[in-house]
Chain A
Amino acid sequence: MKEVIAIKRQLQTAAKVVASARSSQKITTPALIGQLFTDFVPLNGDRVGGEDPAIIGGLALFNGQPVTVIATNKGTTLEERMACHFGCPEPAGYRKALRLMKAAEKFHRPIITLVNTAGAYPGAHAEITGQGMAIANNLYEMSTLKTPIISVIFGEGGSGGALALACGDQVWMTTASMYAILSPEGFATILWKDSQRADEAAAIMQLTPDALQTAGVIDGIVDEPDEQSVFCQNMTRMLSEQLSHLQQLPVTSLLAKRQARFRQF
Chain B
Amino acid sequence: MQLFNAVRNIGKAHLKYNQEARQKVPDGLWQVCPKCQQSIYHKDLGQYRTCPFCGYGFRTGAKERLSWLADTFEPTAPLKQAANPLHFPKYGHKLRQAQQATGLEDSILTGFATIGAHHVGLGIMDPHFIMGSMGTLTGEKITRLFEVATVKKLPVILITASGGARMQEGIFSLMQMAKTSAAIKRHAEQGLLYISLLTDPTTGGVTASFATEADIILAEPKAIIGFAGRRVIEQTMHEQLAPDLQDAETVLKNGFIDQIVPRADQKAFITRLLTLHERGDCH
Binding site for B on A (CB under 8 A): 120-124, 126-133, 135-137, 139-141, 143-144, 159-160, 163-164, 167, 179-182, 187, 190-191, 204-207, 212, 215, 217, 259, 262-263, 265
Binding site for A on B (CB under 8 A): 85-88, 136, 139, 143, 165, 167-168, 170-179, 181-186, 189, 203-205, 207-213, 226-229, 232-233, 236-237, 241-242, 245-246, 254-256
A131: chain B residues at CB < 8 Å are: 208, 227-228
B175 to chain A: closest residue by CB: A265
Q: Determine the distance from Cα of A212 to Cα of B174 in the docked complex, in whole angstroms.
A: 13
Additional pairs, 12, CB under 8 Å, beyond known A136-B177, A144-B189, A181-B174? A127-B233, A130-B255, A132-B212, A133-B208, A141-B185, A143-B185, A159-B174, A160-B165, A160-B204, A180-B171, A205-B86, A265-B172
- Cβ-defined contact, B171 with A136, below 8 A: no
A127: chain B residues at CB < 8 Å are: 226-228, 233, 245-246
Number of A-B residue pairs with CB-CB distance less than 8 Å in the complex they form = 151
- Cβ-defined contact, B170 with A206, below 8 A: yes
B143: chain A residues at CB < 8 Å are: 263
Contact of A263 among B172, B179, B229, B232 (CB under 8 A): B179
B242: chain A residues at CB < 8 Å are: 124
- Cβ-defined contact, B211 with A136, below 8 A: yes
**Which one of A120, A121, A128, A259 has the greatest number of beta carbons of chain B within 10 Å?**
A128
- Cβ-defined contact, B256 with A133, below 8 A: yes
Binding site secondary structure of chain A: helix
- Cβ-defined contact, A143 with B181, below 8 A: yes
- Cβ-defined contact, A140 with B227, below 8 A: no
Q: Determine the distance from Cα of A123 to Cα of B87 in the docked complex, in whole angstroms.
A: 33
- Cβ-defined contact, B181 with A122, below 8 A: no
Given known A136-B211, A163-B174, contact A265–B139 (CB-CB < 8 A): yes
- Cβ-defined contact, A181 with B233, below 8 A: no
- Cβ-defined contact, A124 with B227, below 8 A: no
Contact of B236 among A123, A132, A141, A164 (CB under 8 A): A123
- Cβ-defined contact, B256 with A130, below 8 A: yes
Contact of B175 among A124, A190, A262 (CB under 8 A): A262
A136: chain B residues at CB < 8 Å are: 177, 181, 207-213
B203: chain A residues at CB < 8 Å are: 132
Q: Determine the distance from Cα of A123 to Cα of B85 in the docked complex, in whole angstroms.
A: 31
B241: chain A residues at CB < 8 Å are: 124
- Cβ-defined contact, A163 with B228, below 8 A: no
Q: Determine the distance from Cα of A263 to Cα of B182 in the docked complex, in whole angstroms.
A: 8
7 pairs of A and B residues whose beta carbons are closest in the complex: A132-B207, A122-B228, A143-B182, A265-B175, A139-B181, A132-B227, A135-B208
Contact of A181 among B170, B181, B183, B213 (CB under 8 A): B170
Contact of B205 among A140, A160, A180, A190 (CB under 8 A): A160
- Cβ-defined contact, B171 with A212, below 8 A: yes
Q: Determine the distance from Cα of A207 to Cα of B212 in the docked complex, in whole angstroms.
A: 27
**Which one of B179, B226, B227, B241 has the greatest number of beta carbons of chain A within 10 Å?**
B227
Contact of B227 among A120, A139, A141, A179 (CB under 8 A): A120
- Cβ-defined contact, B177 with A132, below 8 A: no
**Which one of A129, A132, A143 has the greatest number of beta carbons of chain B within 10 Å?**
A132
A180: chain B residues at CB < 8 Å are: 170-171, 174
Contact of A139 among B178, B245, B256 (CB under 8 A): B178
Q: Determine the distance from Cα of A144 to Cα of B182 in the docked complex, in whole angstroms.
A: 8
Contact of A204 among B88, B174, B179, B211 (CB under 8 A): B88
- Cβ-defined contact, A205 with B208, below 8 A: no
Contact of A144 among B170, B185, B256 (CB under 8 A): B185
- Cβ-defined contact, B228 with A126, below 8 A: yes
Given known A181-B171, A191-B168, A212-B171, contact A139–B177 (CB-CB < 8 A): yes
Contact of B232 among A122, A137, A205, A215 (CB under 8 A): A122
A140: chain B residues at CB < 8 Å are: 181-182, 184-185, 213
Q: Determine the distance from Cα of A173 to Cα of B86 in the docked complex, in whole angstroms.
A: 20
B233: chain A residues at CB < 8 Å are: 122-124, 127
Contact of B86 among A144, A204, A217 (CB under 8 A): A204
- Cβ-defined contact, A139 with B167, below 8 A: no
Q: Determine the distance from Cα of A135 to Cα of B210 in the docked complex, in whole angstroms.
A: 11
B147 CB → nearest A CB, Å:
9
A143: chain B residues at CB < 8 Å are: 178, 181-182, 185-186
A229 CB → nearest B CB, Å:
31
A212: chain B residues at CB < 8 Å are: 171
- Cβ-defined contact, A122 with B227, below 8 A: yes
- Cβ-defined contact, A262 with B167, below 8 A: no
Given known A127-B228, A128-B254, A132-B207, contact A122–B236 (CB-CB < 8 A): yes
A119 to chain B: closest residue by CB: B228
A259: chain B residues at CB < 8 Å are: 182, 186
Q: Determine the distance from Cα of A121 to Cα of B175 in the docked complex, in whole angstroms.
A: 20
